[in-house]
Structures are given as C-alpha cells and as structure tokens.
C-alpha cells in the first residue's frame, strides 16, 4: 500500500514538474502556447426553473446550496493543502447522483469568483451533463478526445469562471479513449492552456465497466457517491478499496438520504 501511494505521489510529481518545465519554456518563448482567456468560449445561460427541476440547487447560494457549499469548502481546503486540481466523481452503481453532485459542486465552486472551474463529462457510455444543462451540443467531448474537434470549438462557458465539456452522444470506444496516452497528454494540454484551478470529472459507475480504471491515474483524487437505501455497504467497500489503489479517495458522500438532518439537506458518509 505504501509503495502504491509512493508510486501515485511520484506520478503526480512527474506530471506537475512536466507542466512546470513547459511553463518555463513558454516564458522564454512568450507567444508560444499563451494561456487562453475563457471569454473566447461561447456562453450558455442557465434557467433557474430548469436547474431547480434537475436538482441543481447550488446556483444561487442560500440554504439549498448549503450541502454543496460545505462539500466545496472541504474540497478546496484539501486541494489547496495537497496542491491538487483534478477530482473525479464516481459511484459503485448507476444513478447514485454523480452528475447532479458534480454539477452542483461545479456551480458552488464557481460562485467563488477567484476560482476557475472546469466540469468535464467523462461518462462516455451514458453521458448526461448536457441533459442537466438542457443543451443539445453540436459535438461531443469524446470527439475532442479523438482529435476530431478542438476544445475551443467544443467547450461552453457558464458565467466567467465555469467551463463545461459535454457529450451529446455516447462514445463507441469509451475504455480505449479514457485509457489512452493521448487523453492523458490532452488533459495536460488543457491544464496548460486554460489554467483551471479545479477540474471536475463526472465519471461512469465503477461496477458497470472498467472504463475508469485506466483513467483514474490522471486525477489527483476522487469522491465516491453512494445512494442511501440502494448502494450496499459491500459495494461501497469494494469500490473504495479499488479507488484507493488508483488515486486518493477524498471521501464517500451518502446521497439521497431521506433521513438527513433538515439543516443540511443530505447526509455525508465520511470525508477527508
């Protein structure tokens, strides 16, 4: 286990130092790969009514946003403490609330105007971020990963500091795309060019396929979402152990909890 943690830390250090080296090269060649302004991306406007229907309650702050704002604070604290930026959100089985939580966390983070946030739909089998946002994207992020469309052409901006990448269609080869070296290099490139403070990845369920296995080495940490009364403790345990072998587990969120404290809105499992 210690060896594995050391290997993960080493891989992360290598990624960060490669990014820093390229940063230094760019400083010597000022016009090469200049960070891009987020305002060049087309903006999408969210309708409050539709967001409420989709349970996106963190948009405006206030009581309904409280659980997500708490998740945000703990996430930011850990990311800053550890120098991390990439967080994957996954669950044991389907429909635990990954996409709902990912989007709520993204809008909650983006309410902090000093943070630049990217939310990327990497559930390439059953993408749903576009549905939560009521969008019909002309192309998909998996096409960006396959080199068919540029990120600039694909990505959309919500306000000044949240960028989303969606999939209007499922990918035919999700595991290959997610596990490829070119995807790893592409994410590094996005980080260099757009300089997000936080990148959130909405993933597929862990027990449904092995799509995430080869990808999770590309993130700094992951949140496991469990659904009260439907995810079994055994499956939480299996997935938490598997996740811990692939990345750092930020915590387990217990979603859809009918008996959560009213002052919070949904309950947490353990965290951090």
The residue ranges that bind ligand ATP (CB under 6 A) are 55, 91, 94-100, 123, 126, 128, 205, 255-256, 266
The distance of closest approach from Cβ of residue 72 to ligand ATP in the complex, given in angstroms and rounded to an integer, is: 16
> Which is nearer to Mg ion, 38 or 266 (by Cβ)?
266
For β-strands 198-202 and 86-90, DSSP reports them as parallel
SS3 68: helix
Q: Which C-beta is closer to ligand ATP: that of 36 or that of 207?
A: 207
266 binds, among Mg ion, ligand ATP, none (CB under 5 to 8 A by kind): ligand ATP
Indicate whether 218 belongs to the interface with Mg ion (CB under 5 A): no
Distance CA 131, CA 48 (A): 15
To ligand ATP, the closest distance from the beta carbon of 6 in angstroms equals 32
**Smaller CB distance to Mg ion: residue 99 or 161?**
99
CA dist 92 and 90 (Å) reads 7
> Least distance to ligand ATP from the beta carbon of 62, Å?
17
Contacting residue, 85, 90, 91, 99, with Mg ion by CB under 5 A: 99
* Residue 129 near residue 99 (C-beta atoms within 8 A): yes
197: tokens are: 């403070």
Q: Is 98 in the site for Mg ion (CB under 5 A)?
A: yes
**Per CB under 5 A, 130 contacts Mg ion:** no
Contact between 26 and 32 under an 8 Å Cβ cutoff? The reply is yes
Say which DSSP state 43 is in.
B
Question: Binding to Mg ion by residue 90, rule CB under 5 A?
Answer: no
Which pair of structure tokens corresponds to residue 38? 């987020």
Q: What single-letter DSSP state applies at residue 112?
A: S
Among 104, 128, 247, 248, binds Mg ion (CB under 5 A): 128
| Phi, psi angle pair for 46, to nearest 5° | -100, 140
Greatest Cα pair distance, the chain, in angstroms, is 58
Q: Closest approach of Cβ 181 to ligand ATP, in Å?
A: 26
Residue 182 CB, shortest distance to ligand ATP, in Å, is 25
Nearer to Mg ion, 78 or 102 (CB): 102
Question: How far apart are alpha carbons 156 and 38 in whole angstroms?
Answer: 9
Q: Note the residues at the interface with Mg ion (CB under 5 A).
A: 98-99, 123, 128
């Amino acid at each position: 286990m210690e060896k594995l943690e050391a290997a993960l830390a080493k891989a992360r250090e290598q990624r960060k130092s490669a990014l820093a080296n390229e940063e230094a090269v760019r400083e010597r060649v000022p016009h090469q790969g200049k960070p891009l302004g987020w305002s060049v991306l087309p903006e999408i406007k969210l309708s409050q009514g539709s967001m409420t229907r989709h349970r996106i309650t963190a948009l405006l702050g206030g009581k309904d946003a409280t659980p997500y704002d708490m998740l945000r604070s703990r996430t930011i604290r850990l990311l800053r403490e550890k120098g991390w930026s990439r967080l994957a959100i996954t669950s044991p089985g389907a429909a635990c609330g990954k996409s709902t939580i990912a989007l709520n966390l993204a809008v909650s983070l983006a309410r902090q105007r000093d943070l630049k946030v990217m939310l990327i739909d990497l559930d390439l089998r059953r993408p749903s971020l576009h549905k939560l946002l009521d969008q019909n994207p002309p192309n998909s992020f998996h096409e960006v990963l396959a080199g068919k469309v540029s990120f600039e052409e694909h990505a959309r901006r919500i306000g000044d500091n949240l960028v989303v990448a969606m999939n209007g269609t499922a990918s035919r080869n999700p595991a290959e795309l997610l596990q490829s070296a070119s995807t790893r290099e592409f994410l590094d490139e996005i980080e260099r060019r757009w300089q997000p403070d936080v990148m959130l990845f909405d993933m597929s369920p862990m027990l449904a396929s092995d799509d995430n296995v080869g990808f999770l080495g590309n993130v700094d940490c992951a949140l496991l979402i469990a659904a009260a009364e439907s995810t079994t403790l055994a499956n939480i345990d299996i997935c938490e152990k598997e996740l811990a072998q692939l990345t750092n587990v930020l915590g387990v969120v217990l979603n859809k909890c009918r008996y959560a404290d009213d002052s919070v809105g949904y309950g947490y499992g353990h965290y951090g």
